[in-house]
Amino acid sequence: MSTEQILSSDGIPLEISLKKAERKNKFRAVMLVGPLFLFLIITYVFPIGDMLFRSIDDRKITQMLPNTFTAIEKWDGQDLPGEPVYAALYEDLAYLKKNKTYGKIIARLNYEKGGFSSLIKKTVRKLGKFEEGNYKEQFIEVNKRWGQNDYLVSLKNAAPNWTFAKYLKGVDLKYDQNGSIVEQPEDRRIHKVLWLRTLKVAFWVTIFCFILAYPISYLLATLPMKYSNLLMICVLLPFWTSLLVRTSSWMVLLQQQGPINDLIVWLGFAANDARPELMYNVIGTFVAMTQILLPFMVLPLYSVMKTISPSLMRAGKSLGGTPFVAFRKVYFPLTIPGIGAGSLLVFILAIGYYITPALVGGASGSLISNTIAYHMKSSLDWSFAAALGTMLLVGVLTIYWIYNKLVGIDNIKLG
């Protein structure tokens, strides 16, 4: 084998000089992709990771009530715990009172069980009067709720550092005093209903959007340029209008004394004193959401239909098919990628909607996203909001996965 090296013009071995050039190129490529990569990490990976973490992280309260939780771990949750638990609780609360940080455990415990807020506050106020020994009696004397099993079970449930309790709550389950999973009391089972309702609304809105968008897209794709342009503007115009404006316009149109109802009465379909309710029920939600999400179905369908050559339909007919058969066997299968893309877009957007249904849907308009917003803004139970958000995310990914299995994600076409 020859040991002679091939040299480049400036005397450096070709291999090295090639590697150098390659490195430069690689560096350039990384620099080009880098910003986008960072952007993805900062805006997607990090927040979603934070959300996942938050939904199971429960360490803050463990750090604030260390003695209590160590003591309560030995308790079996049946009869009231003994003196050591109360003594430890006294020690922790006294420490928190001294540092004025007891406020932070209040909110956390109140999520576990309503009434803890005032219970802790009242107890802390009277803590100065406690005498040494016999803490159990003194606690119960300050407030009889310290003698109720429920409150101490809730305290025990708050002890682990990491917990899936929020996920259980998201499907109306909870831990009981033995640590086994049971259903929430009947009058507090709310989340399952909301999940089902959210899916139902998203499903029907997708169906309605499809029914309306298909002919529109067909017209858009087949009409001569000058008409289809005009039609395109009609599709896009609402797209550029604020969501709230469109929702409130629907509220004006759909109300019982509104123009659509006037028209129905004038045409004689309903008596003046028995006007149909078009809003503050599911009808309102479906109508407004379908209109708002329609462009997301029209655009993918249109871009797919645009690429289908009209000669294919003619070929189908010339081979003896009726127009319907030609449509069903030739045209429709070719539009499936567009249908897939549109449906997926509309469904995923619809599943996260909440302003529109809240405004026009009345009692039926509260969906799972409203609950997330409520826990973000009002109750400040961010870990529960994070758990619900994660469940929603997993749900969407599952739908994506099923879609991939059934239709194949490569078949999706946005244009």
Q: Of the candidates 47, 49, 82, 103, which one interacts with other proteins according to CB under 8 A?
A: 103
Return the number of other C-beta atoms located less than 10 Å from residue 392's C-beta. Answer: 18
Quick one: which segment of 24-32, 101-109, 204-212, 224-232 binds other proteins (CB under 8 A)? 101-109
166 forms part of the interface with other proteins (CB under 8 A): no
- Considering the complex, state which of residue 30 and residue 41 has its C-beta at the smaller distance from other proteins: 41
Q: Which stretch, 56-64, 112-120, 294-302, 402-410, contacts other proteins (CB under 8 A)? A: 112-120
Stretch that binds other proteins, among 39-47, 58-66, 291-299, 371-379 (CB under 8 A): 371-379
CB of 371 to other proteins, least distance (A): 8
Residue 110 sits in the site that holds other proteins (CB under 8 A): yes
Residue 381 as a binder of other proteins (CB under 8 A): the answer is yes
362 forms part of the interface with other proteins (CB under 8 A): yes
Question: If binding is defined by CB under 8 A, does position 242 make contact with other proteins?
Answer: no
Kindly state whether residue 199 participates in binding other proteins, applying the rule CB under 8 A: no
How many angstroms separate the Cα of 341 from the Cα of each of 303, 346, 395? 11, 9, 18
111 counts as binding other proteins under rule CB under 8 A: yes
The window from 188-196, 213-221, 315-323, 330-338 that contacts other proteins (CB under 8 A) reads 188-196
As given in the structure block, the two tokens for residue 146 are 């310290």
Of the residues 190, 237, 402, 409, which one makes contact with other proteins according to CB under 8 A: 190
Q: Which of 101, 149, 161, 307 binds other proteins (CB under 8 A)?
A: 101
Applying CB under 8 A, does 144 fall inside the site for other proteins? no
Q: Using CA atoms, how far apart are residues 131 and 237, in angstroms rounded to an integer? A: 74
Q: According to the binding rule CB under 8 A, does residue 250 interact with other proteins?
A: no
* Cα–Cα distance for residue pair 172/182, rounded to 1 Å: 9
Cβ closest to other proteins, residue 279 vs residue 301? 279
Q: By CB under 8 A, is residue 151 in contact with other proteins?
A: no
Answer yes or no whether residue 107 interacts with other proteins by CB under 8 A.
Answer: yes
Q: Which of 6, 36, 363, 406 binds other proteins (CB under 8 A)?
A: 363
Q: What residues numbered 272-291 form the site for other proteins, per CB under 8 A?
A: 280
Binding of residue 415 to other proteins (CB under 8 A): no
Amino acid at 327: F
Residues 6+ apart with CB under 8 A from 235: 216, 220, 294, 295, 298, 299
Q: Does 104 bind other proteins (CB under 8 A)?
A: yes
Q: Compute the least distance from the CB of residue 341 to other proteins, in Å.
A: 33
Region of 174-182, 204-212, 251-259, 336-344 interacting with other proteins (CB under 8 A): 251-259
> What residue ranges bind other proteins (CB under 8 A)?
101-104, 106-107, 110-111, 113-118, 187-190, 193-194, 197, 255-258, 280, 358-359, 362-364, 366, 371, 374, 376-382
